[in-house]
């Protein structure tokens, strides 16, 4: 366990270690908190417990194979990674994507945002102790997964991206089903907003919890909904429109754009994400309406495409606004069949440092919801160790979760008394 240098007030403070793996996270990460009473006084964390060497694997494969490898960087963002990767390859090779393919890419990316944000809303409810809300939201999420399966061939790994376009078209017959699902989500998101945003217990637990100020968000380079909830109006789709976003008018959503006060707390992050689901629904409907006819790929003959890419030299960058924020892929081709180098910067990496100001001064019971509020894509084992006056007490996932649930129950009582 990492030790934090003690400063004054020794008797009342102790070190509290969460991780290498933590309840709210899906991948190993170690937090070290210095606690005084119930309050967090100092935060430190360490990561890189799960280095999978994906980029190394990539340098042993050709660009077509990497699309599917990139898909597997993240289970949720498996349009975002190939999207950014394909854009990088296209920028190096000077490949132009046909307009219809750009629309199909956009539709798929927005479907991904809907299911990712719904999953997050469910997890957030779970962290607060509302398990019935978790199940309710996950049930609502099934519909978008069905649509994804319907247009791409699988629920999670979509396998629809291709360098220079997409692999599958959306037929006229499929339009209706997608539009119907979007209508369903318009209603459903309203309901979920009512459940999450109007409930007094949720409000009590999330308002003024885990505050990230606008200045901190900018200083720590936060991205995605984490930054936007703090009032930083930044979104790749707005700042540097690509794919079909060029033809649409996408505005970054901050609490201010939906007429709410910006505090940068967990509540605002919920608010922004729910508003983004609504925005995604509108984008999809808009895309379906204005989608032009035409080719869906720059080159349908894969061997020909591979041969063409073999002679390409140069470096390229691909960006995309993933559900969690901006994802960035860098590649270098040197006229080989395989890549010379590949670098991926996933959005969670940029958001990690924002945890420090968010967690300072928080209560122990609020740690799970604050950590989950940036929608981190890291994994977990289920235990935490507390060292108090040299004695070890093990708190596992359940116990920490219990603390969170207890706080919710206590708040509910306060209101009823």
Partner 1 sequence: MIVIAKELVKQLLKKPFTNLFPAKYAPKSIKQFLRDAKEGKVKLNPPVVVPPNFRGKIEYDEKKCIRCKLCTRVCPAKALEYVEKENIIKYHLFRCAFCGQCVDVCPTGALKLTKEFLLAGYKKD
- Where on the chain is the footprint of partner 1 (CB under 8 A)? 61-62, 64-69, 71-72, 130, 132-133, 136, 139, 142, 149-150, 153-154, 157, 159, 167-168, 191, 194-195, 199-201, 302-303, 306
Smallest distance from partner 1 to CB 348, Å: 23
Non-local (6+) Cβ contacts of 155 within 8 A are 145, 146, 148, 149
Smallest distance from partner 1 to CB 412, Å: 9
Smallest distance from partner 1 to CB 182, Å: 18
Smallest distance from partner 1 to CB 306, Å: 7
Non-local (6+) Cβ contacts of 351 within 8 A are 222, 223, 224, 226, 324, 325, 374, 376
Q: Token pair of 345, please?
A: 């910067």
Distance CA 320, CA 87 (A): 9
Smallest distance from partner 1 to CB 229, Å: 23
Smallest distance from partner 1 to CB 94, Å: 22
* Closest C-alpha among 342, 339, 336, 341 to residue 310: 336
Judged by beta carbon, residue 153 or residue 314, the one nearer partner 1 is: 153
Query: DSSP 3-state assignment of 44?
Result: strand
Max CA distance (Å), the chain: 74
Smallest distance from partner 1 to CB 339, Å: 13
In DSSP notation, 246-273 reads: GTS------GGGGT-----SHHHHHHHH
Sheet of strand 313-322, all strands in order from the earlier edge strand to the far edge: 313-322, 325-334, 341-345
* Closest C-alpha among 230, 261, 266 to residue 359: 266
Non-local (6+) Cβ contacts of 199 within 8 A are none
Judged by beta carbon, residue 29 or residue 161, the one nearer partner 1 is: 161
Smallest distance from partner 1 to CB 115, Å: 16
Judged by beta carbon, residue 70 or residue 327, the one nearer partner 1 is: 70
Distance CA 81, CA 218 (A): 24
Smallest distance from partner 1 to CB 132, Å: 6
Judged by beta carbon, residue 67 or residue 95, the one nearer partner 1 is: 67
CB 347 within 8 A of CB 76: no
Judged by beta carbon, residue 194 or residue 239, the one nearer partner 1 is: 194
Residue 131 has phi, psi (to 5 degrees) of: -70, -30
Judged by beta carbon, residue 220 or residue 309, the one nearer partner 1 is: 309
Judged by beta carbon, residue 114 or residue 125, the one nearer partner 1 is: 125
Judged by beta carbon, residue 71 or residue 375, the one nearer partner 1 is: 71
* Closest C-alpha among 275, 204, 194, 292 to residue 235: 275
Judged by beta carbon, residue 72 or residue 233, the one nearer partner 1 is: 72
Distance CA 179, CA 288 (A): 8
């Amino acid at each position: 366990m990492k030790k934090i240098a003690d400063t004054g007030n020794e008797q009342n403070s102790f070190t509290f270690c969460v991780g290498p793996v933590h309840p709210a996270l899906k991948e190993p990460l170690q937090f070290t908190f210095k606690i005084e009473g119930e309050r967090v006084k100092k935060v430190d964390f360490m990561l890189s417990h799960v280095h999978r060497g994906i980029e190394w694997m990539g340098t042993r494969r050709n660009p077509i194979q990497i699309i599917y490898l990139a898909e597997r960087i993240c289970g949720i963002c498996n349009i975002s990674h190939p999207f950014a990767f394909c854009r990088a390859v296209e920028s190096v090779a000077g490949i132009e994507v046909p307009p219809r393919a750009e629309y199909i890419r956009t539709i798929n990316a927005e479907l991904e945002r809907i299911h990712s944000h719904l999953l997050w809303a469910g997890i957030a409810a779970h962290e607060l102790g509302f398990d019935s809300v978790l199940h309710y939201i996950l049930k609502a999420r099934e519909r978008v997964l069905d649509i994804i399966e319907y247009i791409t061939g699988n629920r999670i790994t979509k396998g629809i991206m291709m360098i220079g376009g997409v692999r599958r078209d959306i037929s006229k017959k499929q339009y209706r089903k997608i539009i119907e699902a979007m209508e369903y989500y318009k209603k459903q998101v309203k309901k979920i907003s009512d459940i999450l945003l109007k409930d007094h217990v949720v409000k009590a637990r999330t308002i003024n919890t885990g505050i990230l100020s606008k200045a901190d968000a900018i200083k720590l380079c936060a991205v995605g909904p984490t930054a936007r909830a703090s009032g930083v109006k930044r979104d790749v789709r707005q700042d540097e429109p690509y794919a079909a976003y060029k033809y649409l008018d996408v505005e970054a959503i901050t609490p201010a754009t939906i007429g709410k006060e910006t505090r940068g707390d967990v509540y605002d992050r919920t608010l922004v994400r729910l508003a983004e689901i609504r925005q995604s629904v509108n984008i999809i409907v808009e895309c379906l309406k204005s989608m032009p006819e035409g080719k869906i790929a720059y080159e349908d003959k894969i061997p020909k495409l591979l041969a063409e890419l073999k002679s390409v030299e140069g470096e390229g960058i691909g960006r995309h606004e993933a559900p969690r924020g901006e994802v960035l892929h860098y590649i270098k081709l040197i006229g080989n069949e395989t890549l010379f180098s590949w670098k991926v910067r996933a959005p969670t990496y940029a958001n990690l440092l924002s945890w420090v100001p968010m967690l300072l001064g928080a209560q122990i019971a609020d740690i799970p919801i604050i950590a989950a509020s940036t929608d981190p894509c890291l994994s977990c084992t289920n235990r935490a160790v507390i060292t108090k006056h040299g004695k070890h007490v093990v708190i596992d996932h359940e116990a920490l979760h219990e603390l969170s649930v207890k706080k919710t129950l206590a708040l509910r009582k306060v209101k009823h008394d």
